[in-house]
Structure 1
């Protein structure tokens, strides 16, 4: 059977073969009914094939061929035959039956009863062959179904999920039943019972020795979805979630994926004002520094949706920048991105003042998003001079180049660690905020910094580290059982940065509402359960102590109390501080001297923390 599917004949002419099969079924149905009407010529009658009979059969076959094209019955896969296909074939048969009745009444070729019988028989043969094939295919895949699965949701999505399991060799499971809050216990869905409510998932999964959970629910709120996922993950049974479109239940639109940790975090939905963002990006030249990084690359992906004239992507890491450029080239070829957007990748270090200035002078960007920075806290503690030269002076180079070359809007990525910083990375980011707010300019450039916390899944963040530790069998290492952090997804962060960019007027610092802080220990437990293990039993969680420069709690929520809300409920704004450029420039001289001359990390950090004080 696999050989047939892979053959060029099947791949190139599948629709034609199915169409011929269906026409043959129609032909045989009419022949059988014709013979039956004549008692199979057992009473001495002689079969006469007249021109009217030949013309009539040609008309029947052409009519059914037209019906196949209209109702696309030759396009469906037999393995996926379902209620929608039965309805489609039924309508096709009804269409042919009505036309044939009119044809018969006009030419008096067949009896009306024979039309009903022939069309009904053809429908039964065509649908029966498909359903028989589907049953045979499902039976042939039942041999190794030793593990039990439970489907959460007994509606359309649950039905499609069950079919996906039994027709796809990737899921060698036996479905024991469904859980649903709105279907009565004992109700059968395609032969499988509703075993109880979603709240009973733990007890029912234990009773039926379930090895796999599938969540398949199409109409639930975000909060309900999160609650269901939490109930499933608490069982420590591997759980997958299904997404699909009900408008067309073909298998290409069914996706079954692992649950992401983002699904368990209570994140508010982002309310983007598309017109506001488009007003300063559409048909403009936009530049992103650090474009190969997690935030920078997502910013680029979001920016192209607003159709800039040119996107200039700057990074010192050639590999990540090249891969991002290739991604955009694929999007253009597949018509997922406007072909007239000019994409330009430039290998440039922000530490090279003259090079950055040349880039800005040549390309004359209207908008610059500055995401380039060293961000890993422990690494910057051991090399504070590198953090100062890259984060502080590199950012100053970009700001100066923007001012000198008439950039109209400059948006800088900052961090919650810039609030009362205790580590080098946070202190350098605070220093860049002071640089931005102190610049004296004649041009009407709008500048702003955007602060937010940890980003889920970014390079080097806790999520990929935990995943790798779980993959290795543990232990999962947490600095302290009580440490808390704020989290948001990469797309959320990029979208809110772009929205904050619209609000930029004069050197503001925007603070993003990160929601409620998350205990890292609890995050580790949830990730272990998502992987199908029991924390503390299958995978150990181990405390290793706070790393140099780390806080137990970030202070973003305290900052929000000092801010006022913008038009977007998730974006708050600090009023700019009153600080002179000469003051900041004097501090920068001190920082430059200590970064160039000293090799003592502790001494450099002390000077840095002293330099950022403003009271």
Structure 2
């Protein structure tokens, strides 16, 4: 209980205070009457009047200065009840001592104090309870009958909180008609006075029977299949549907549970929330100097956001893209004003520039996310893949080892497994170099391999959204093409987790869940936009692009998979590579790239990455472009 000397009364709180004064008097009167079986001896009337006067003078002052009237009783909880008990107890003890002092500590019936405390506590709590019951059963339901007729899917904790938030709003857009839940045992039961009308399997029928206009999905952890079934029922009945924000954002206080959002493709994929070993991550990030390359990219910027949560001593943001680097630096400066940030414009292919970065900032942990990643673009520009993805990664890893970096985590891709394109082959080459260097270095080198990331720059989701907004068509390369997907925060959080698991030289593979057909993804996005696939928006198959496969893999032949301490991260059995052999092969690649000899680049890549199976054998950059994009050379 905290006492405050600042008292500011609104008219409503003045009325509450006045009611409490009356209840203080009533509690003392009834305590006295109960003590003497409602027949107070005439000799004790002066004692009664003195006790009543002391109670009415002392207890209201205690109530005032306790801060009791700063509480919002419409949101009253168990903790508020505890506060009331503290205030009532303090006021009873203080008034008792004052009364005994005035009587020169002559005996006073102790049972009166006990009865007074019990009655006052019951009356004060009851007054709050009666108001809340009246408000929630009479005022709020009457207030919320003008909004859209709405069903809440999920009669659990999230649904309960959502209903309370909606009822608290003065002009809510939702008139809650009932609940729907996947548990049939809840059917017919009531939650805060609202009936559970049926199960999710009956959703379509219930929408029609109760003239429902809106459906709110209050199941933050719903699996993708369950979410898709609910959405399809809503689409079939042509009603609006929304869902709650991510439960992690609600817990962290970023947004309120009442901030209902449209269902998006991430909800339909049903990715489970990540449970991180916060203590282990904090142990190797807190108070450390951290460098993130590719800090302005989709993955790199999210890694920066996640790292910032663990209070690093310094966060160095390295990227060659000026405007995106400015944007992430500005964002982090606003969200973490006390954190030491160092935005560095640099290219990882420049050895002298990397020397400056390592000498100046002395990073202890490095997250290497800088890479060229777009498969068709790299097919047109193989030299850049070699210089950036391979030579740049090699330079960065060598500098990290030379300057005594403790942890080095490189981001890789599932396209590095049995690659059919230059991008995948270049990332596999970088994996091999880092694994080989790990055997000779004191730095803890680890690699994290995962698939496609939803919403990352240049990924399929933003492209589909642009095509839908333009009225179509939506272009899909092949009806059978499938990909693994995960969200940007999920991938970045698991990268941080993997960084504290490895002992050096391992390749970690993230649990990507079940693969998704790209055509299904396109159809879901069209439906979420309120349109009908193949009718309102056409889907056109354009054929696989240069270097693309129908499906991606996560393992190279011979790589055994073992579990780690985190259920969503697997580690591949370490394969030993000779550093000298790898260095010689990379040197040969760099020479070929410097001469822009595409055939030599491809031959050298295949020697370094034997599982690389290119879809063509170009003789030069020009001939490659002639084969891949003949339209460019049409006169």
TM over 0.5: yes
- Partners of 2:172 and 2:464 lie apart in 1 by 26
Question: Residues 467, 487 of structure 1: CA spacing in aligned structure 2 closer, same or farther, 3 A cutoff?
Answer: same
Q: Corresponding residue for 2:521?
A: 523
Q: Structure 1: give runs of 5+ residues left out of the alignment.
A: 1-11, 35-49, 334-338
Tell me, what secondary structure is at the counterpart of 2:359? helix
Closer/same/farther in 2, CA of residues 118 and 452 from structure 1, 3 Å limit: closer
| 1:172-195 CA-partner distances (Å, limit 9, x unpaired) | 122221123265544444443221
Query: Alpha carbons of 1:452 and 1:275: their partners in 2 closer, same or farther (altered >3 Å)?
Result: same
* More displaced stretch, 410-419 vs 400-409: 400-409
Contact 1:216 1:243 in 2 (8 A): no
Report what 1:163 is aligned to.
Answer: 164
Provide the C-alpha distance between the structure 2 equivalents of 1:185 and 1:125, rounded to a whole number of angstroms: 34
Taking structure 1 as reference, are residues 480 and 210 closer, same or farther at Cα in structure 2, changes over 3 Å only? farther
Counterparts in 2 of 1:94 and 1:214: CA distance versus 1, 3 Å: farther
Q: Does 1:215 align with 2:217?
A: yes
Change over 3 Å in CA distance of 1:252–1:332 after alignment to 2: closer
- Displacement of 1:416: 1.1
Q: CA deviation at 1:372?
A: 0.7
1:63 match: secondary structure: helix
Note if contact 1:484-1:554 (Cα within 8 Å) is conserved in structure 2: yes
Say if 1:183 and 1:99 are closer, same or farther in 2 by CA, change over 3 A: farther
Q: Distance in 1 between matches of 2:404 and 2:157?
A: 57
Aligned pair partner of 2:562 in 558, 562, 565 = 565
In the other structure, the counterpart of 2:450 is: 452
Alpha-carbon displacement from aligned partner over 1:305-343 (angstroms, at most 9, x marks no partner): 44443322211223333333334333444xxxxx5x533
What CA deviation, in whole Å up to 9, does each residue of 1:537-585 have, x standing for no partner? 55554433322222110122x4387323153452222413343422331
Aligned pairs for 1:198-347 within 5 A: 198-216=200-218, 222=221, 226=224, 228-235=226-233, 236=235, 237-241=240-244, 254-258=257-261, 259-265=263-269, 267=271, 272-273=276-277, 277=281, 280-333=284-337, 339=338, 342-347=340-345
For residue 519 of structure 1, report the CA deviation from its aligned partner: 1.4
Partners of 1:398 and 1:452 in 2: how far apart? 21
Partners of 2:386 and 2:590 within 8 A in 1: no
Q: Which residues of structure 2 form unaligned runs of 5+?
A: 1-5, 29-45, 101-106, 612-635
Q: 1:227, 1:472 → 2: CA distance?
A: 29
1:392 corresponding residue in structure 2: 390
Q: 2:464·2:525 contact (CA, 8 Å) conserved in 1?
A: yes
Q: Secondary structure at the match of 1:480?
A: coil
CA contact (8 A) 2:585 2:608 kept: no
> Which range moves more in the overlay, 178-187 or 514-523?
178-187
- Quote how far apart the aligned CAs of 1:156 are: 5.2
What corresponds to 2:176 in structure 1? 175
Give the TM-score, by structure 1 length.
0.75
Indicate yes or no: 2:512 matched with 1:514.
yes
- Report if aligned partners of 2:223, 2:270 keep a CA contact under 8 Å in 1: no
Structure 1 CA distance, aligned partners of 2:131 and 2:576?
Answer: 74
Alignment match, 2:72:
76
Q: 1:106 to 1:503 in 2, by over 3 A?
A: closer
Matches within 5 A, 1:397-436: 397-436=395-434
State the secondary structure of the residue aligned to 2:596: helix
Cα distance in 1 between the residues matched to 2:476 and 2:501? 38
Query: Is structure 2 residue 142 aligned with structure 1 residue 148?
Result: no
Query: Could you tell me how far apart the structure 1 residues matched to 2:15 and 2:204 are?
Result: 48
Question: What secondary structure sits across from 2:479 in the alignment?
Answer: coil
1:20 matched to which residue of 2?
A: 14
1:63 and 2:59 aligned? yes
Distance in 2, Cα, partners of 1:298 & 1:590:
35
Alignment of 1:186-201 (within 5 A): 186-201=188-203
Relative to 1, partners in 2 of residues 1:361 and 1:543: Cα closer, same or farther, differing over 3 Å? Answer: same
Report the number of matched residues.
566
Q: Counterpart of 1:585 in 2: which secondary structure?
A: helix
Flag the 1:474–1:127 CA change in 2: closer, same or farther, 3 A. farther
- Secondary structure, counterpart of 1:234 in structure 2: helix
